């Protein structure tokens, strides 16, 4: 690929992925597509930024033509929590946005489309421990429904049109640059901010809740490595399980207390508890390991140390 468009560049993953790709492909070759959210200074300073809404096909086409885009990464999505509050919006953004991108990529014979999926494709009847690559996909959230459909749609474009579409099932992603928005796993980010700001946190899921999680540097590595993998070596296309670590909220508290001994937590589970309970504890990612050499670097304690340091520095500068 020569010129990449990242749709959803202002989001939690998009903001960091765009910068990482600019380091590899060159600033001018990676266009940050943002919708309404103001892009960060870093995004504006390091390369082109354009207003892109995947639901506005004309605007999408004009950006693709202007920059001779030959690869699209679609990071725009309505996540699980927000999706339950507005299922029609989730369907519209997650499905119609995706098919607009796939159709444009097919018409322009683009080199690659990356469409992330999620652990939200799994549901309460899926095996919870070491969830296999091939398993029951019966999610109970609209977000999960759109992610299963998105995986199937991407695979369809591979088979029917020979378009190179790839995707991986992200676990909960934890980071300190851009806040996540509207996900069930957002508590695993918020806990670090509140630990630094006030040494206490009220958690919207209970202490026993265990989910697969990943630190942002591993998320960037997984995404970039999958993008660069040899197409012929891929035994899957849009649905790679990728694991890194899994832990309960209680485990997070232990890890944080190693740095902030008087940290306190209270639990007030809400509607997101049921969502979290429907997702796996851990995933089997041996296909990703075999096909494109996936291997995570961070565990819970390494991530906690890094998160608290980064957020602590922001706090000292009154940036949070």
Instruction: Please list the active-site residues.
Output: 143
Pick from 67, 122, 143, 157: which binds ligand SER (CB under 6 A)?
143
Segment near ligand SER (CB under 6 A); pick from 183-191, 223-231, 292-300, 310-318: 183-191
User: In angstroms, what is the minimal distance from the CB of 274 to ligand SER?
Assistant: 13
By the rule CB under 6 A, 184 interacts with ligand SER = yes
By the rule CB under 6 A, 170 interacts with ligand SER = yes
- Relative to beta strand 240-241, strand 168-170 is parallel
Binding residue count for ligand SER, defined by CB under 6 A: 11
Pick from 14, 71, 139, 183: which binds ligand SER (CB under 6 A)?
183
Site mask for ligand SER (CB under 6 A), range 93-132, x = bound: -------------------------xxx------------
By the rule CB under 6 A, 9 interacts with ligand SER = no
CA-based nearest residue to 252, from 214, 207, 282: 207
Residue 60 vs 245, nearer CB to ligand SER = 245
By the rule CB under 6 A, 12 interacts with ligand SER = no
Phi, psi of 204 (to 5 degrees): -85, 5
CA distance 291 to 166: 13
Q: How far is CA 203 from CA 184, 194, 269, 320, in A?
A: 11, 10, 7, 19
User: In angstroms, what is the minimal distance from the CB of 191 to ligand SER?
Assistant: 14
Site mask for ligand SER (CB under 6 A), range 40-79, x = bound: ---------------------------------------x
Where b means 16+ CB within 10 Å and e means fewer, 35-53 reads beeebbeebeebbbbbebb
By the rule CB under 6 A, 80 interacts with ligand SER = yes
Residue 263 vs 294, nearer CB to ligand SER = 294
**CA angle (190 as vertex; 21, 183 as ends), nearest 5:** 65
Long-range contacts of 84-93 (CB under 8 A, 24+ apart): 84/141, 84/142, 84/143, 84/271, 84/275, 87/142, 90/142, 90/143, 90/146, 91/142, 91/146, 92/55, 93/54, 93/55
- Closest residue to ligand SER: CB criterion: 183
By the rule CB under 6 A, 154 interacts with ligand SER = no
User: In angstroms, what is the minimal distance from the CB of 275 to ligand SER?
Assistant: 7
Segment near ligand SER (CB under 6 A); pick from 151-159, 182-190, 213-221, 256-264: 182-190
By the rule CB under 6 A, 172 interacts with ligand SER = yes
By the rule CB under 6 A, 243 interacts with ligand SER = no
CA distance 25 to 256: 37
By the rule CB under 6 A, 204 interacts with ligand SER = no
For 297, other C-beta atoms within 10 Å of its C-beta total: 11
User: In angstroms, what is the minimal distance from the CB of 225 to ligand SER?
Assistant: 19
Pick from 185, 209, 255, 304: which binds ligand SER (CB under 6 A)?
185
CA distance 167 to 234: 11
How many Cα atoms are found within 13 Å in the side-chain-facing hemisphere of 213? 26
For 277, other C-beta atoms within 10 Å of its C-beta total: 18
Interface residues with ligand SER (CB under 6 A)?
79-80, 118-120, 143, 170, 172, 183-185
């Amino acid at each position: 690929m020569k010129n990449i468009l990242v749709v959803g560049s202002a989001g939690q993953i998009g903001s960091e992925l765009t910068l990482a790709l600019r380091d590899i492909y060159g600033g001018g070759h990676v266009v940050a597509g943002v919708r309404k959210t103001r892009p960060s200074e870093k995004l504006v300073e390091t390369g082109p930024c354009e207003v892109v809404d995947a639901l506005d096909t004309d605007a999408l086409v004009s950006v693709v033509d202007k920059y001779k885009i030959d690869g699209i990464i679609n990071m725009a999505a309505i996540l699980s929590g927000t999706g339950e509050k507005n299922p029609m919006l989730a369907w519209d953004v997650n499905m119609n946005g995706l098919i607009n991108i796939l159709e444009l990529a097919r018409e322009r014979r683009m080199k690659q489309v990356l469409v992330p999926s999620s652990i939200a494709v799994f549901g309460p009847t899926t095996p919870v421990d070491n969830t296999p690559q091939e398993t029951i996909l019966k999610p109970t959230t609209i977000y999960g429904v759109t992610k299963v459909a998105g995986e199937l749609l991407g695979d369809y474009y591979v088979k029917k049109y020979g378009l190179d579409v790839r995707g991986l099932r992200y676990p909960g992603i934890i980071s300190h640059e851009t806040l996540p928005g509207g996900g069930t796993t957002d508590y695993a980010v918020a806990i670090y901010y509140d630990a630094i700001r006030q040494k206490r946190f009220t958690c919207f899921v209970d202490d026993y809740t265990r989910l697969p999680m990943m630190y942002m540097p591993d998320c960037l590595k997984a995404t970039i490595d999958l993008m660069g993998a040899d197409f012929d070596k891929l035994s899957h296309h849009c649905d790679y399980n990728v694991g890194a670590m899994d832990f309960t909220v209680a485990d997070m508290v232990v890890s944080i207390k190693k740095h902030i001994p008087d940290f306190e937590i209270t639990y007030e589970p809400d509607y997101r508890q049921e969502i979290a309970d429907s997702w796996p504890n851990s995933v089997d990612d041996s296909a990703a390991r075999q096909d494109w050499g996936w291997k995570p670097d961070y565990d819970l304690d390494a991530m906690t140390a890094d998160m608290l340091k980064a957020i602590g520095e922001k706090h000292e500068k009154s940036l949070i």
